[in-house]
Amino acid sequence: MTANPILLTQQLLRCPSMTPIEAGTLTLVGEFLERRGFSIERLDSGDVSNLYARRGKSFPHLCFAGHTDVVPPGDITRWSVDPFKGEVRDGNLYGRGVVDMKGGIGAFMAAVDAYLLKNAKSEGSLSFLLTTDEEGPAIDGLRYVVEQFKARGEKIDACLVGEPTNTTKVGDTLKVGRRGSLNAQITVQGKAGHVAYPHLAKNPIIPLLNYLKGLLEAPLDAGMVNFDPSHVEVSSIDVENPTTNVIPFEATAKFNIRYNPTHTFDSLSQYLQEKANEMGLNRDGFTHTLQIRGSGDAFLCEDEALQSLVREAVLKTTGITPAFSTGGGTSDARFIKDICPVIEFGLVNATAHQTDEHIAVEEIHLLTAAYLEIIDRFFDESTLKQ
């Protein structure tokens, strides 16, 4: 009898693994895989736990990557169930992280179990790469592990990341790349004063708003194949001014840029600074500081054979031809793409991070079947000969 993906997911859900707490999740996965012939290696860094489990030493090598950490459940009284119990109700499995992405991990564990029962002497290698630092800073998680792999020459032919990629039903969307993401904070300083005597002050709010207006009104690009146009989104404007009769000394804004491969972190950083200089934020009595942090440049999986393999496997098991997408937020795929081609495919993302996060039980079974088909096709004799 093959492993049940629902029971495996429930076991993971009962571990309250909020970033970066492992809470027994990697131990659970490791013990399951060790019983199936996997070699287990922990690559922990700081307070982050990382698991690398590999079965086989030959090639081709297919890796499943993901994270067991979850975001906090928020106000538990707003949940209709215990977020860490893994309760099934009306055909849905509830729990924090069931969608993002413990359900995906449970499905791949079950798929691997089913595959090995049929192919105990399969050639090639299967591996799992899991972290407890995806929802947080993402510094000591797979970013760290990828650097370790580079240093020791660890080779992977293809990676499947189990992030929730679908919008309405398992099978409708594959992530074949991701947009880049840049966060910036700009602070403009002027001269404080009384609102009745504006000529004696330098109001920093005005040039700050002009700067933001300039960024929002000037298109960064028109988009490209597989990518929407890059865009700026303002997330905060603050002056910390509790009064109505004082012109503040400084004003701060925060914004994010999601960008396609037309740009890089370095090129956008230069653009933002040049824009600030053009807008006069360092003259006429004003000064400014600009802090910029990137979480990864845009990328696209250009391995057409891998794209086709995954797409055809998903079509066969779900009856849906999946769309290729690069939208949404960031994921650990942005690190993995430095060492091998990577595609993301998991559950439906509709309730990810929400109160009462849940997914239909049948969707987890469907994802398990799709994962098994992907593994079968990857290690098919014709694939091994390529």
Return the amino acid letter for 218. Answer: A
- Per-residue pLDDT tens over the stretch 51-91: 999 999 999 999 999 999 999 999 999 999 999 999 999 99
What is the rounded CA–CA span in Å between residue 74 and residue 354?
A: 9
Q: What residues are paired with 175 via a beta bridge?
A: 325, 344
Looking at residue 120, its pLDDT comes to: 83
Kindly report the number of other CB atoms within 10 A of residue 267's CB atom.
12
- Per-residue pLDDT tens over the stretch 314-328: 999 999 999 999 998
What is the rounded CA–CA span in Å between residue 176 and residue 344?
A: 7
- Decide if pLDDT at 381 tops 70: no
What is the rounded CA–CA span in Å between residue 379 and residue 63?
A: 12
Active site residue 69: yes
Looking at residue 383, its pLDDT comes to: 56
- Decide if pLDDT at 353 tops 70: yes
Where do the DSSP E strands lie in the chain?
39-42, 50-55, 61-67, 88-89, 92-94, 125-131, 158-161, 173-175, 177-178, 180-189, 193-194, 231-238, 246-247, 250-259, 287-296, 299-300, 323-325, 342-344, 358-360
Looking at residue 384, its pLDDT comes to: 45
- Which residue out of 69, 113, 154, 250 is catalytically annotated? 69
pLDDT band at 122 (very low <50, low <70, confident <90, very high): confident
- Decide if pLDDT at 249 tops 70: yes
Mean pLDDT of 270-296: 95
Counting Cβ atoms within 10 Å, is residue 200 exposed (0-12), middle (13-18) or buried (19+)? Answer: exposed
- Decide if pLDDT at 222 tops 90: yes
- Which residue out of 100, 113, 133, 134 is catalytically annotated? 134
The SS3 assignment for 98 reads helix
Of the candidates 301, 323, 336, 304, the one whose C-alpha atom is nearest the C-alpha of residue 142 is: 336
Of the candidates 141, 4, 175, 127, the one whose C-alpha atom is nearest the C-alpha of residue 68 is: 141
- Decide if pLDDT at 382 tops 60: no
**Token output for 86:** 């893994």
Active site residue 172: no
- Per-residue pLDDT tens over the stretch 12-45: 999 999 999 999 999 999 999 999 999 999 999 9
High-pLDDT (> 70) share of the chain, %: 98
